[in-house]
Amino acid sequence: MIANTIDQEIKQAMLAKDKARLRGLRAIKAAILLARTEKGSAEEITEETESKILQKLVKQRKESSDIYKQQGREDLSLIEEEEIAVISSFMPQQLDKSEIEAVISAIIKSSGGNSIKDMGRIMGMANKELAGKADGKLIAEIVKAQLA
């Protein structure tokens, strides 16, 4: 579980006075605490849930970074990029495009999908199979391309 590691990493970052790493670690800790307390769930967070939280944090920071770049605020964009690097270090290894295509191709063959009408069903299966290992947007693009 990431939650246990995060506390130790925060202490190390504080001792090293590594502000960028500290920001990223605190963001992860805050998101995990929020997930634990929302909807009154007292149970422990699973690794799959942690992975989704981390993906969401990275996605938010990428979007913010893009907006900052469009507005010419490279200083703020750099902060977001530093946090992305810290958060990404706790995520499972991401698959490359060819690996994702192979997995989706196998899912399509096994499910008998052959038209764009099957996209919803195949997306559900692909998202389950590739949870935490690939970006949802990329999965959708590949599924659409292979079904078209």
Q: What is the pLDDT of residue 100?
A: 87
Fold entry, domain 97-147: Arc Repressor Mutant, subunit A (1.10.10)
Q: What is the DSSP string of 87-145?
A: HHTTSPPPPPHHHHHHHHHHHHHHHT--SGGGHHHHHHHHHHHTTTTS-HHHHHHHHHH
Q: Does domain 2-88 have CATH number 1.10.1510.10?
A: yes
- Domain segments of the chain as ranges: 2-88, 97-147
Task: Look at the pTM and tell me if it is higher than 0.85.
Answer: no
pLDDT digits (tens, 9 = 90+) for 114-141: 778 888 888 888 888 887 778 778 888 8
- For residues 133 and 137, what is the distance between their CA atoms, to the nearest angstrom? 12
Q: What does pLDDT average to in each consecutive run of 10 residues of the chain (148 residues)?
A: 85 93 93 81 72 88 95 94 91 82 87 80 84 80 85
